[in-house]
Structure 1
Amino acid sequence: MTKLRVESFTISIDGFGAGPDQSLENPLGIGGKALHGWAFATRTFQAQLFGAQGGETGIDDDFAARGFHNVGAWIMGRNMFGPVRGPWLDESWRGWWGDNPVYHKPVFVLTDHPRAPLVMEGGTTFHFVTKGIRAALELAREAANGKDVRIGGGASTIRQYLRERLIDELHIAIAPVLLGEGERLFDGIHLPDLGYTCTQHVPSQRATHIVLTRT
């Protein structure tokens, strides 16, 4: 069976996976962009996000690159797709990523409000799932066609899948940043009781990389 993975999800030293007050001006919340300095510097993210050449290699790039290996579909929460709340009054919002999003795979967006699939350039189609996390996972696994499913975020979506012990592996990057407020990734989560253990920890100059595996 395909694995359900979290990759390259970054938290601050004080445990926040995003800053407060997400908006068009602050997609990651106030101060949230500072979490991802390790990722933006890598060759992998320069190529995937910006279509650019160059960027750093080494530990950070190795972890960034593994996040795209053998991924056949993605799952994300409504807030990660965009700042629009409530019913889709129109379909003008098409994501943060322009006409050719970075995913190049089917993406299943958790939402309480139905919306028709959104076909983008480069192989990305956003499917809006209203029947919950297990329904989204079933659809994503079917679309992945034997490959793994990656949860993009945000923190609330990851917590929902963790509580159900559905995530097989999490790569968490801890950035040397203090946010003070925002959304905590592991708020209310007892990882040992859920069967997760730390199976890898690797420091770099920009982050500490942790891999948690479900036993």
Structure 2
Amino acid sequence: MTKVTAQLSVSLDGFYAGPRHTGDGDWMESAESAGFFRVTRWVTDAMAWRERQGFTGGEQDVNSDVVAESFGAAGAYVMGRRMADGGEVPWGEEPPFRAPVFVVTNRPRPTLVRGGGTSFTYVTAGVASAVEQARAAAGGRDVAVAGGGSLVRQVLKAGLLDELELHVVPVVLGTGLRLFDADLELGEKEAVELEPTRVIHTPQVTHIRYVVRGRAPLVLDDRGSGGGPTTTTG
């Protein structure tokens, strides 16, 4: 059964990149880039990631196994336009996805076909349409929301996300692009509930997989109301 999944590397304080780069300078030299590469260092060190990019070297370890697993599970991808534009040149003629990619955008563009089975279809009808098209193209495998963080929030907000995996890196960035913020538009007494189903710890990163249970009201218990046992100190 096809699942819609997402995964992101985040700092302990919840950032997936440094402060947003809005200038005309080189993104690679920006604070956004510095934060992003700090929390994804475990990925770029992994042999499975390097092989997928056409590079040599890397570590064959648990982190590499996690990367290989994620590539193997995805039958199609959904991606934001900013990520697609930024990666178009660096990914080259054979991008690492090797599957159809559906790009959420408000700027039409013909489908871009690349080598290795990767194609980029630009969807202007919204995130739900992109997910639906990706499901149809996934061949029973997962639809992976590749990001960025804003797109992951859109999919979560729309109730379309089945599974979320966070790769929590032991670093505090202090500021930057936060994965979860107010544009989820949760009510004052509402939350998105998740259930952890797997935790893998390594020295570089802790991988935590969640099933998304969806929006639910926050229900207060009767703690302190006098209806149950009390504890006194003195």
TM-score (ref. length: structure 2): 0.79
Using the alignment, how far apart are the partners of 1:27 and 1:70 within structure 2?
Answer: 32
1:12-161 equivalence runs, <5 A: 12-22=11-21, 23-26=26-29, 29-31=32-34, 32-49=36-53, 51-83=54-86, 94-161=88-155
Match of 2:196 among 198, 204, 207: 198
Secondary structure of 2:66's partner? Answer: helix
Using the alignment, how far apart are the partners of 2:56 and 2:89 within structure 1?
Answer: 24
Query: 4+ residue stretches of structure 1 with deviation over 4 A?
Result: none
Distance apart, 1:53 and its partner CA:
4.0
Q: Relative CO higher for 1 or 2, CA cutoff 8 Å, sep ≥ 6?
A: 1
Q: Is this contact kept in 2: 1:81–1:96, CA < 8 A? A: no
Q: Is this contact kept in 2: 1:81–1:95, CA < 8 A? A: no
Question: Would you say how many aligned residue pairs link Structure 1 and Structure 2?
Answer: 203
Counterpart residue identity of residue 45, structure 1: W
Match of 1:179 among 173, 178, 181: 173
Post-superposition CA distance 1:117-153 (Å, at most 9, x none)? 1111221111100100110011101111221111111
More displaced stretch, 60-69 vs 105-114 = 60-69
**2:232 alignment counterpart:** none
Distance apart, 1:72 and its partner CA:
0.9
Post-superposition CA distance 1:193-215 (Å, at most 9, x none)? 33312222222011111111123
Q: Is this contact kept in 2: 1:116–1:128, CA < 8 A? A: yes
Structure-2 change in CA distance of 1:181 and 1:59 (3 Å): same
Distance apart, 1:165 and its partner CA:
2.1
What RMSD over aligned residues (CA atoms) do the two structures have, in Å?
Answer: 2.1
Using the alignment, how far apart are the partners of 2:156 and 2:88 within structure 1?
Answer: 28
**1:210 alignment counterpart:** 208
Q: Is this contact kept in 2: 1:174–1:209, CA < 8 A? A: yes
Between Structure 1 and Structure 2, whose CA radius of gyration is higher? 2
Where does structure 1 lack aligned partners over 5 or more consecutive residues?
84-92
Q: Is this contact kept in 1: 2:20–2:177, CA < 8 A? A: no
Using the alignment, how far apart are the partners of 1:2 and 1:203 within structure 2?
Answer: 27
Using the alignment, how far apart are the partners of 2:155 and 2:30 within structure 1?
Answer: 23
Distance apart, 1:28 and its partner CA:
8.6
Where does structure 2 lack aligned partners over 5 or more consecutive residues?
214-234
Structure ranking higher in helix proportion: 2
TM-score (ref. length: structure 1): 0.86
Q: Is this contact kept in 2: 1:13–1:174, CA < 8 A? A: yes
Structure-2 change in CA distance of 1:36 and 1:97 (3 Å): same
